[in-house]
A and B are shown apart, each in its own frame.
Chain A
C-alpha cells in the first residue's frame, strides 16, 4: 500500500529555436528550403501590412469591427504551413493570416468585416470552416472532422485554433477529451496571446501552462515560443506527422502576445500598461525572422523594401476589389442558405420583404 508518484505517459515541453535577436539554435533548427523560408517571410509581412490596412479601413469607417492579429503572425503561419491542402481547419476569429495562407481571398475579410455575409463564403476546394466568433466552440468541429477522417480511413488531419480565453470554456475540455478517447487526428493550436479582452492569462487558469492541459486528456502538449516561427513549425510538423500516422491528437500552446487591440471596439490602455507592450514589441516575430534570413543571406534591406512595395500594391488591389462588391446589397438575399429548401412559412416572409421593397421603390418614384 505505497504512496508514490504516478508516472504519466507524457511530459510538457517548452521549445524555442530562434530567439528574439535572431540567434538560432543550430541543433534544433528545422531544415526548411530557402523557397519555403522566403514564402513564409513574405506571408508574415503581407499579413502584418494587411492587418494595418484593415485597422485603417475601420478607423475610416469603411469596414466595421475587426480583430487585429498583430504580433501573432508566427503562431498562425508556423502551424498552418505544415498542413496539406486536403487537410481541414476550424478557426476562431484571430487567424486571418492562417486563413489567407490556406487560400481564403484577402478581399473576403474586407467584405465580411464590412458587413457582407458574402465574405464568409467558403470557396469550393477549400476545406476550412468559416470563422467562429463564439469563443471555444470550434475545436469540437475539428475533432468531429478528425473522427470522420478516421472512419473513412482518409489520410488527412484537422487543425483547430483558439485563444487562451477559450481554454476556460467547457467545450475546450470536451474537445480534448473526445479527441483523446477517439484518437482523432487533430492538432490543437492555442494562440496564448496573454489577454482575453481585459482578462490576463493568470486569471484564466491557475495552471502554470496551458499546454499541460493536454496531459489530463491523455495526449502530448507542448509550449512553444509563439513568436518563433521555426519553433511553431517544428512542433506543428511533429504533431501533424503523428496525427497523420495514427498517433492521435496534440495540443500546442503558442506563447505569444496580442500587440494590438482585442477588436477595434477595444481600448487596452484601460487594462494593461505600455511597458508590457514595449517589452513584447522587442520580441516581434517578423524582425527576428528577418535577421535569421539576412544571416542566411536570403534577404537584404533592399529586398525587404522591394517586397514592401509589392505588398502595398497587392493590398490596394484587394481593397479596390472588395469595395467594388460592397455596394447595394440585395436585402432579399438574407433569406438564402437557411435551409436547403425554403419552407412555405419562410417563403411568405421573403415575399413580404419583396413586396415592401417594391412598394418603397414605387413610392420613391412617385415622390
Chain B
C-alpha cells in the first residue's frame, strides 16, 4: 500500500480502469497535455495517447453532449469539468438527455458517463470556484451524485462510477485534494454507490456529513469526546443521491439525536432531505430537534469572508451541544 493524496488516488483509479477497459476515455479542458488544472489526469496521455485522453474545445455543453453520443455508442467517457461552478453549462444536456436516454429509448440505450468536477470552498479562490451545489444534480432523476471524502474512498468510488451503467456526477472536494495522504491499496478496490458508510461507532448522537466537511466533523467529534465525553456515531454519506437511508435511520433510532453537516446552502439542501427521511423513519425515537450545520442561502463570498460562510469545528460542536442539551 502506498500513501497517496486524493489527486493521486483519483489518477490511479482512472489509470487502472483505462488499462483494463478500452471503452474508458477521458475528455475535458486541459486534461491531456496539461494533465488537468489540478493535475488529476496527469500523465495519462503519455500512457493512453490523445485518442483516449482528449483535450476538447472550451465548451462544457459540447463536452457532455458529445460524451452522451459516445456513451450510447458503447464507450465509458469520464468528463472533467474544470470547476463545478462552470458545470451549469452541462446541466441542460445532463437533464434533457444523459438522465433520460435510458427511459426515453425504453432501455435500448444507456449513458454510462462520469462527470468529474472539483467543488467546494476554503481554498481562497475566485468567484464561481467555491460553490457546493450538488443538490441541482441530486434532484435530477436518472443521475447519481457522488462525493468522496478521502483518497481511499475517492479511488474506490471513482472506479464504481466509471463502471456504473448510468450517469454519475462525481464532485471532488478540492479542499481535500492534497490536504492529507491515506493508504490506498494497489490492487483494485470498489465501493458501492448509494450506501452511506459508518465511520465512527457511538451512542449519544448521530452526525451525518460528506465531502470536505468530513474532516471538520471528525475533528469536532474528537474534541467533543475529549471535552464533553460525547460519544458520537458518524456517517459519511458519500452518495448524495440516490442513497439508502436504512443505516442512518437505524442509528438515529439508537441515539435519538441527529446533526447534519454540509457546506451547501441550507434551504432545500441535502440536510433537508435527510431530515425528512429521518422524520419518516425515526420520528418516535427522536429526543431533540435535528440540527443542521450548513452554508447559508447567499452568494458564496470572496475569500476574505469565506471562513464566516464555511461550517467549522466550532459550529459543529455548538450544534451537537444544542441537540444534547434537550
To the question of whether A and B form a pair in one complex, the answer is yes
How far in angstroms is the closest Cβ of chain B from A14? 29
Q: How far is the CA of A149 from the CA of B51 in the complex (A)?
A: 12
Do the beta carbons of A118 and B108 come within 8 Å of each other?
no
Q: How far is the CA of A177 from the CA of B104 in the complex (A)?
A: 27
Do the beta carbons of B93 and A144 come within 8 Å of each other?
no
Contact with A along B95-115 (1 / 0, CB 8 A): 011000111111111100000
Do the beta carbons of A344 and B108 come within 8 Å of each other?
no
Do the beta carbons of B65 and A171 come within 8 Å of each other?
yes
Residues from chain B with Cβ under 8 Å of A129 in the complex: 72, 101, 105, 109
Of B54-62, B262-270, B289-297, B301-309, the segment with at least 4 beta carbons within 8 Å of chain A is: B54-62
Q: Does B166 contact A (CB under 8 A)?
A: yes
Residues from chain A with Cβ under 8 Å of B56 in the complex: 178, 181
Q: Does A65 contact B (CB under 8 A)?
A: no
With beta carbons under 8 angstroms apart, the residue of A120, A137, A344 that contacts B92 is A137
Q: How far is the CA of A104 from the CA of B194 in the complex (A)?
A: 37
Residues from chain B with Cβ under 8 Å of A148 in the complex: 69-70, 73-75
**A residues 146-192 with Cβ under 8 Å of B?**
146-149, 151-152, 158, 170-171, 174-175, 177-178, 181
Q: How far is the CA of A120 from the CA of B65 in the complex (A)?
A: 20
Q: How far is the CA of A337 from the CA of B103 in the complex (A)?
A: 5
Known: A120-B104, A178-B62. A338 touches B141 (CB 8 A): yes
Known: A129-B72, A134-B96, A147-B69. A345 touches B62 (CB 8 A): no
Q: Does B244 contact A (CB under 8 A)?
A: yes
Which A residue's beta carbon lies closest to that of B89? A170
Q: Does B142 contact A (CB under 8 A)?
A: yes
Do the beta carbons of A171 and B73 come within 8 Å of each other?
no
How far in angstroms is the closest Cβ of chain B from A85? 16
With beta carbons under 8 angstroms apart, the residue of B69, B142, B144 that contacts A143 is B69
With beta carbons under 8 angstroms apart, the residue of B75, B97, B166 that contacts A141 is B97
How far in angstroms is the closest Cβ of chain A from B89? 9
**A residues 99-156 with Cβ under 8 Å of B?**
117-118, 120-124, 126, 129-130, 132, 134, 137-149, 151-152
Do the beta carbons of A340 and B110 come within 8 Å of each other?
yes
Known: A118-B106, A122-B109. A339 touches B66 (CB 8 A): no
Residues from chain B with Cβ under 8 Å of A289 in the complex: none
Q: Does A257 contact B (CB under 8 A)?
A: no
Known: A338-B142, A340-B166. A140 touches B62 (CB 8 A): yes
Across chains A and B, the number of contacting residue pairs, with CB separation under 8 Å, is 145
Residues from chain B with Cβ under 8 Å of A141 in the complex: 65-66, 68-69, 72, 97
Do the beta carbons of B141 and A123 come within 8 Å of each other?
no
Known: A123-B108, A174-B65, A338-B102. A147 touches B92 (CB 8 A): no
Q: Does A346 contact B (CB under 8 A)?
A: yes
Q: Does A343 contact B (CB under 8 A)?
A: yes
Do the beta carbons of B66 and A178 come within 8 Å of each other?
yes
Chain A interface mostly helix, strand, loop or mixed?
helix
Q: How far is the CA of A149 from the CA of B108 in the complex (A)?
A: 19
Of the candidates B25, B96, B242, B245, the one having the most CB atoms from chain A within 10 angstroms of its own CB is B242
Do the beta carbons of B103 and A343 come within 8 Å of each other?
no
Do the beta carbons of A120 and B73 come within 8 Å of each other?
no
Q: How far is the CA of A195 from the CA of B164 in the complex (A)?
A: 42
Q: Does A88 contact B (CB under 8 A)?
A: yes
Do the beta carbons of A145 and B72 come within 8 Å of each other?
yes
Residues from chain B with Cβ under 8 Å of A132 in the complex: 96-97
Do the beta carbons of B96 and A147 come within 8 Å of each other?
no
Q: Does B32 contact A (CB under 8 A)?
A: no
Do the beta carbons of A337 and B65 come within 8 Å of each other?
no
Q: How far is the CA of A234 from the CA of B213 in the complex (A)?
A: 61
Contact with A along B136-173 (1 / 0, CB 8 A): 00000110100000000000000000001110000000
Residues from chain A with Cβ under 8 Å of B59 in the complex: 174, 177-178
Q: How far is the CA of A346 from the CA of B243 in the complex (A)?
A: 10
Residues from chain B with Cβ under 8 Å of A345 in the complex: 242-245
Do the beta carbons of B105 and A130 come within 8 Å of each other?
yes
Residues from chain B with Cβ under 8 Å of A177 in the complex: 57, 59, 62
How far in angstroms is the closest Cβ of chain B from A181? 6
Do the beta carbons of A137 and B72 come within 8 Å of each other?
no
Do the beta carbons of B62 and A171 come within 8 Å of each other?
yes
Which B residue's beta carbon lies closest to that of A333? B106
Q: Does B16 contact A (CB under 8 A)?
A: no
Contact with A along B164-196 (1 / 0, CB 8 A): 111000000000000000000000000000100
Do the beta carbons of B244 and A343 come within 8 Å of each other?
yes
Q: How far is the CA of A137 from the CA of B105 in the complex (A)?
A: 16
5 A-B pairs besides A144-B69, A174-B57, A181-B57 with CB distance below 8 A are: A134-B96, A145-B69, A151-B51, A337-B107, A344-B246
Report 28 cross-chain contacts, Cβ distance below 8 Å, ordered by A residue: A121-B105, A121-B106, A132-B97, A134-B97, A137-B65, A137-B93, A140-B61, A140-B65, A140-B68, A141-B68, A142-B69, A144-B66, A144-B69, A144-B70, A145-B69, A145-B70, A148-B69, A148-B74, A148-B75, A151-B70, A174-B59, A174-B65, A336-B103, A337-B103, A339-B142, A339-B144, A340-B165, A343-B244
Name A's B-contacting residues (CB within 8 A): 88, 90, 117-118, 120-124, 126, 129-130, 132, 134, 137-149, 151-152, 158, 170-171, 174-175, 177-178, 181, 336-340, 343-346
